[in-house]
Structure 1
Amino acid sequence: MHQFLINASIQIIPIVLDKHPYQWVDEAIAIIQQSGVKYEVGPFATVLEGTYNEVMQVIHQVNEFLYEKGCAEWVTNCQIQIRSAGHITASVKTEKFNRQ
């Protein structure tokens, strides 16, 4: 895959009874924070920005973490946007709405 920036959203939905689902989500966000990939936490999903390989590695790390720590079951929802000939960033898509 090319080395342009892509962006993706990841949403983790734990299906668990062992602890509050937000605890699992918080731990998943900690993995993202430690990854070095640019991110923005939202109320429903976290947006990631980096190269394809970087972003996919973070998604893999989050799922591996949940598995290794014994999360009984979860759903990972992802959306990935890739532009063939250049960068695609979250700010390009949202900056016009943030002007005041």
Structure 2
Amino acid sequence: MPIVNLSLQVLPLVPEEKVYPIVDKVIKYIKSTGVNFMVGPMETTMEGELDILLDIVKKAQKICEEEGANRVISIIKLDYRSSGVTMEEKIKNYIDK
């Protein structure tokens, strides 16, 4: 399976003061998986095999639920190319050297 990019934004529907702590737990989980990832101001982008990344999305939903969210809105963007696609190739021209 080719390498894909998947961006995930989770919006747990909880009181405002709980949103960031829950999102922090999701990001901590993503980091623990070992996939290449980049945190942005609105979403976290991951790089890897599609099935692995989708499993991470499922677990992210579960983390939000375990932390008290009865409802979670998730926005997912997927960049798939049969030959694979990396985050580096997409942003290399914009990184300060």
The answer to whether TM tops 0.5 is yes
Unaligned runs of 5+ residues in structure 2 are none
Do the aligned residues in 1 keep the contact of 2:65 with 2:72 (CA within 8 Å)? no
CA distance in structure 2 between the aligned counterparts of 1:24 and 1:94, rounded to whole angstroms: 28
Indicate the structure with greater helix content.
Answer: 2
Following TM superposition, the consecutive aligned residue runs of length 4 or more in structure 1 with deviations greater than 3 angstroms are none
Q: Superposition pairs for residues 64-79 of structure 1, below 5 Å?
A: 64-79=62-77
Structure 1 position 36, deviation (Å): 1.4
Unaligned runs of 5+ residues in structure 1 are none
- CA deviations over 1:33-80 (Å, ceiling 9, x no partner): 111111111111000000111111111111122223332322111001
Q: Given residue 9 of structure 1, which amino acid in structure 2 is its aligned partner? A: S
Q: Superposition pairs for residues 25-44 of structure 1, below 5 Å?
A: 25-44=23-42
Between Structure 1 and Structure 2, how many residues are aligned?
97
Q: Which TM-score applies when normalising by structure 2?
A: 0.89
CA distance in structure 1 between the aligned counterparts of 2:6 and 2:18, rounded to whole angstroms: 26
RMSD: 1.6
CA distance in structure 2 between the aligned counterparts of 1:67 and 1:74, rounded to whole angstroms: 8
Greater Cα shift, 29-38 or 69-78: 69-78
The percentage of counterpart residues that share the same residue type is 25
Q: Which TM-score applies when normalising by structure 1?
A: 0.86
Match for residue 94 of structure 2?
Answer: 97
